[in-house]
Structure 1
C-alpha cells in the first residue's frame, strides 16, 4: 500500500530543500488533484528546522544511523510490499488502482504523484541512454493523473530493465532520502522525537506524501499538534505520537480505497504501547494479518 494522495498543490516542498542543507535547486512545485493552493505550514516548519540546523545535526543519529535506517526500510517494506526484503522492490511496478497511476520501486514512486517523474528526470540527466528516457515526455503528461497515456505498452518492461542498473537503484535510494527520509527524520528531531517517532514520521511521509492538506503529512502533523504538544514543546512524547497516529489513521480511513490501518494498529501502535521509543530489537509486528520479526 502506497500513499494515495498527490503532493500539495501547488506547493513548494521547501522541507526537502532546507533539510538537505540549503544548497539544493529551487523548490519543487508539485500538485494535488483538487487540492488547495495554500502552502500551509510546510514552509514555516522547514524554516524553523533551518533556524535550528546546527542543533538538529548535533543530535544522535537516531533513525539515520545505518542499522536503524535498514530497520526502517524493512518496516516500510513490510507495509508497502509484504516483505522485509526491500531491495527486492527496485523493479516492482504495477497499477494498484488507487488513482495514482503506476506504483513502482522501493517506496512506491507513482507516475501520478510527481516523485516518479523527479526520479526518472534525475536518473536520465546523469544516464541519458537508459530504458526509461524515451518515456519522459509521457511521464510529464500523465503527472497528476492516473493515466497510462504514452506509457503503455513498454513502460513496465523498461522500468524492470532499468532496475537492473545499479545506478538506477542508487537513484531510487537518493530520491527516497531527499523527498521522504531526510525531511521526516530531521523534522521529527526538531519535534523532540526519539527513533520510533522519527520512523512514524518517515512512514507517514511515504504513505501520505508531503502534502499540507488534511490527508498529507504536514496536515496530519498540524492536526496532531492541535491535540497534543510535541516533546520539544514540553509535551509527553507518547501522548503526542498517539495523537499523530490517530490523525494518520483517520486520513487512511477517509480514503475510498486501500483503507487498511494495520501498519498503525498492529505495528507502530504496538511499539508505542510497549514504550519502545528507541525502536530497539527484537521487533514483532503484523501488517495485513501477516506477522514479521526483526531480531
Structure 2
C-alpha cells in the first residue's frame, strides 16, 4: 500500500530531478531543443511541462480556476502549442510572474501533474500488480520524463510484471536498466545527462531501499 508519506517522498525526489528542489520550483523555465524536429521549446513549472506538450492544458486549468493573470494569458492561448513562443519575452514573464504571485498557478500545476502523470502511473502500478514504493517511484518518473512506460523498452527484457506471474523487483530493476541504457545512448545527446535518474533508482535497489524508508540523495539534495 502506498501511503501519503510515500507519495510525498516520490514527488519530492522527482521534483529534485525536474527543478532541483524537493518542493519544486513552480516558476522554473528552461529552453531545450527537444521539441518536434529538434525545435527549441519552453519547459515550465514544478514538473517541467512542455510548450508543445501539456502547457496549454495547464494554462486552461489555471484560467478555469480564475487565476489573476488569466486575462493576460488569453491573447496567447490560441498560439500555445501551435505557434512557437519560446522567444516571446512577455509570455515567459507571465509564466514566471503567475507562479510567483498567484497561488492558483501552483494549484493548477499540482492538479495538472496529478491528473496527467501521477494518476496514470498509479493506474499502471496497480493494474500490473506492483506494491512497493520504489517501484512506483520508477514508474512515476518514467511517466513524468517519458510520458509513459514505453512499450519498446519492455521488449528489451524478458521478465513479466507481477500481474503476469513475474517478480516485481526483477521487473523494476530490468526496466530501470533498460531505460538507463536508452537514455545514456540516445541519438539526442541532450538526454544523456538524464540517465542519472534511473542510475539513482538502481542505487536505491542495490541498498534494498524498496520501501523508501531510508534517505535518498541525488543532485546534491537529500530527501529524508
TM-score for the superposition, normalised by structure 2: 0.85
Maintained 8 Å contact 2:52/2:81: no
- How far the C-alpha of 1:255 sits from its partner, in A, is 4.0
Task: Report SS of the residue matched to 1:285.
Answer: strand
Equivalent residue number for residue 6 of structure 1: none
Give the Cα separation in 1 of the matches to 2:171 and 2:207.
15
Deviation at 1:140, TM superposition (A): 4.0
Alignment of 1:29-108 (within 5 A): 60=1, 62=2, 65-86=3-24, 89-99=25-35, 101-108=41-48
Gapped runs of 5+ residues in structure 1?
A: 1-59, 211-216
Partner of 2:59: 120
RMSD value, Cα? 2.1
| Aligned match for 1:223, one of 155, 163, 173 | 155
Q: Secondary structure at the match of 1:184?
A: helix
Q: How far apart in 2 are the matches of 1:285 and 1:294?
A: 6
Whole-angstrom CA distance in 2 between matches of 1:276 and 1:234: 23
The alpha carbon displacement at 1:104 in A equals: 0.6
Work out the CA distance in 2 between the residues paired with 1:126 and 1:84. 25
Matched, 1:274 2:215: no
Structure 2: stretches of 5+ with no match in the other structure: none
Q: Is the 8 A contact 2:183 2:192 kept in 1?
A: yes
Q: TM-score w.r.t. structure 1 length? A: 0.66
- Residue from 259, 275, 279 that aligns with 2:192: 259
| Alignment map for 1:192-207 (pairs within 5 Å) | 192-193=129-130, 194-207=132-145
Q: Deviations over 1:145-200 (max 9, x none)?
A: xx337x61301110112112111111111110111001101211222221111111
**1:293 paired residue number:** 222
Per the alignment, in what secondary structure is the counterpart of residue 148 of structure 1?
A: coil
Q: Deviations for 1:33-75, whole angstroms, at most 9, x for unmatched residues?
A: xxxxxxxxxxxxxxxxxxxxxxxxxxx3x1xx32222211210
Aligned residues: 213
Whether the aligned pair in 2 keeps the contact of 1:94 and 1:103 (CA below 8 Å) is yes
Map Cα deviations across residues 217-269 of structure 1 (whole Å, 9 max, x no partner).
Answer: 33256436x5211122221212101121122223313141131211111x100
Residue 162 to residue 274, structure 1, CA distance change in 2 (3 Å): same
Which structure shows the higher helix fraction? 2
